[in-house]
Structure 1
């Protein structure tokens, strides 16, 4: 029986692998001007390279064949030569063996080698300059975390503000287990536009501080700052500064539809390379590298034809009629009471209401974004493509399969 179960399990794995293979093999299409080979240049990003080869760059991981035996085989470096091949009628992209950074052949010694390069030298998925400040600094704070967090209560030298190398007093830090802290300034609430659920607070990074003395108040020293520390700023333990982890773009999970709920850096209209906040997070199966298509539409708009707004008022309309004074966007719904006789000269009790004829605007694709940092209930995404003006409240959906 155990052998049968193992056999069935193995068969299921094989069948799933085959199904996944069929699905991925048929979904990626080449760009119209896809090159046969491409030499990776300094300044390239994985997204820009994927766009050279594929119509849908987020499907890169389905066609890229990593070379084994060279450190992290998924990383691509300036000078690498990428070669497009067709395997079974499907595109495959691989680093050309024996290729130099200039496209010529080179002699390879047959001896064990390890390719050693700093991660920062590898081609990043997207422009690091655009998202660098948001990779480790905690810009979204959980509502409960903010309520429980310690806070700046004063300064030893009676300052009104504190800067680098200044000390600050912070309420209730009683353990020396944690010695590094972030100072945050709570901002606007982040709420789900559909359910009105409080998803967190948009918190501004103020400074980093080191513990000098525990207590209530505890004493901390500001070691790095982006803005002056003030009384009332919240203090939370600093997460470990993680090095940048490269990742492949991939389609967002099926059914993960959401909205843009905020845009960072004080921008009102959203464009390419702007960082936005999504009302989707880890609880919604969203992870780093997930790609969403953005849509405008789904809003109610007035039907001016049905309302008569675009029709000229008949020139013979009498000024003694109610429609003359109320306008064409009003119509009589009935009578409030006591409908008068047909010979009555004044419809005193007529119930006039504004014509609310409306239609719902269709959804239209407006751009692409990719998630680069996730929290429990929200995520950060960077806009990679914008076909038209984008706004807070626009819709998100996975790319079509």
Structure 2
């Protein structure tokens, strides 16, 4: 019980330390050398553009003056000219024309309805594209109830592209596109130990050929060969990531990095991570967290005797000179030199192996781009040092 109380006390201290990192209200600060005007180019992202103007790119929504005359005023397109102005001493960024009229799109004499350019995405889609429609995190109950591959028509051991597979219990034809997953490691909350889901590997895409038990599907695309026991779930429609803006995560939300994708051990810029906060914690696409290293216990090398502490000892005739000041007298050793001795001859000393808690240091920024019930995917947008699984995340200053 005491050990559990100490653990909760340490966690409370760590969370309290994180809270001290983001007190008060901060004014929006411009980035060094922020331009007075910038023309948006193909390949830009909203995060890149915000970083040109602001020290903290996630505060873009506080300075962006949207054009109300545009169908979606928050979208920015290549060719738009953005201007920085000061209003009542505060920075404001808007389109250079500022007239509120509709965007002009030049059309050829041939009638067509599509726009000539796509809006600027919030973050680099290439870094996260594989994670937009492939689940990768499966709810523990959903994965247990999911249909699964039970066999193959042609007595294959595994299946590949254009092969057919048998899947248990698909009785409706309403959904025709499916994804095949292979459940992997369990994702557990590092503090509570609760099971949050399973990190799942994308195996293949398949289309429904015949309902039934078993149903028959045909593999249309694959990254790995399909095996018996792989889970089969309906495919999600692709989610665009161009219609939200970076914004700080809800205040007082603290979390941890649970996992990093693509099999790397140290986490850096543009790596995808999983954090232990999701929809039930009011997390949404676009929420920004700062990443902090620290908070773990470290051995005090001086008290542990690893570092030299004898420079303080003045006399070789004192016990401190030989034992060191970080030793404590714990009593006398029993039965030495014998059980019948009138007085034990050997004192018992034990060194104080004190520990200290490393202070938290800001080490990076991540943005959430996909949200599940209890976990979320985030893209590391900035890293000043190598990050690790277990590092803390907290909202940037409000």
Query: Shorter-chain-normalised TM-score: which range?
Result: 0.7 to 0.9
Task: Give SS of 2:200's match.
Answer: strand
1:174 deviation in Å?
A: 2.2
Shift in alpha-carbon separation, 1:177–1:335, aligned structure 2, 3 A: farther
Kept in 1: contact 2:207–2:220 (CA 8 A): yes
Kept in 2: contact 1:247–1:288 (CA 8 A): yes
Please point out which of 213, 216, 235 is paired with 2:232. Answer: 235
Alpha-carbon distance in structure 1 between the residues aligned to 2:102 and 2:342: 109
Shift in alpha-carbon separation, 1:123–1:25, aligned structure 2, 3 A: farther
Alpha-carbon distance in structure 1 between the residues aligned to 2:250 and 2:332: 54
Match of 1:10 in 2: none
The reply to whether residue 216 of structure 1 matches residue 213 of structure 2 is: yes
Kept in 1: contact 2:334–2:344 (CA 8 A): no
**How many pairs were matched up?**
362
Alpha-carbon distance in structure 1 between the residues aligned to 2:244 and 2:269: 20
Match of 1:380 in 2: 377
Alpha-carbon distance in structure 2 between the residues aligned to 1:111 and 1:304: 67
1:255 deviation in Å?
A: 0.8
Task: Give SS of 1:146's match.
Answer: helix
Match of 1:11 in 2: none
The reply to whether residue 148 of structure 1 matches residue 151 of structure 2 is: no
Deviates more, 1:239-248 or 1:195-204: 239-248
Query: Which of the pair has the greater relative contact order for Cα pairs under 8 Å at 6+ separation?
Result: 2
Alpha-carbon distance in structure 2 between the residues aligned to 1:242 and 1:271: 25
Kept in 1: contact 2:335–2:344 (CA 8 A): no
Alpha-carbon distance in structure 2 between the residues aligned to 1:303 and 1:111: 65
Please point out which of 248, 261, 266 is paired with 2:263. Answer: 266
TM-score, with normalisation over the residues of structure 2?
0.82
Please point out which of 245, 249, 262 is paired with 2:246. Answer: 249
Alpha-carbon distance in structure 2 between the residues aligned to 1:333 and 1:262: 44
The reply to whether residue 84 of structure 1 matches residue 84 of structure 2 is: yes
TM-score, with normalisation over the residues of structure 1?
0.82
CA RMSD of aligned residues (A): 3.2
Match of 1:33 in 2: 33
Alpha-carbon distance in structure 1 between the residues aligned to 2:63 and 2:72: 17
Alpha-carbon distance in structure 2 between the residues aligned to 1:140 and 1:118: 35
The C-alpha deviation readout for 1:154-185, integer Å capped at 9, x for no partner, is: 11111111111100111222222322211000
Shift in alpha-carbon separation, 1:38–1:245, aligned structure 2, 3 A: closer
Shift in alpha-carbon separation, 1:297–1:117, aligned structure 2, 3 A: farther
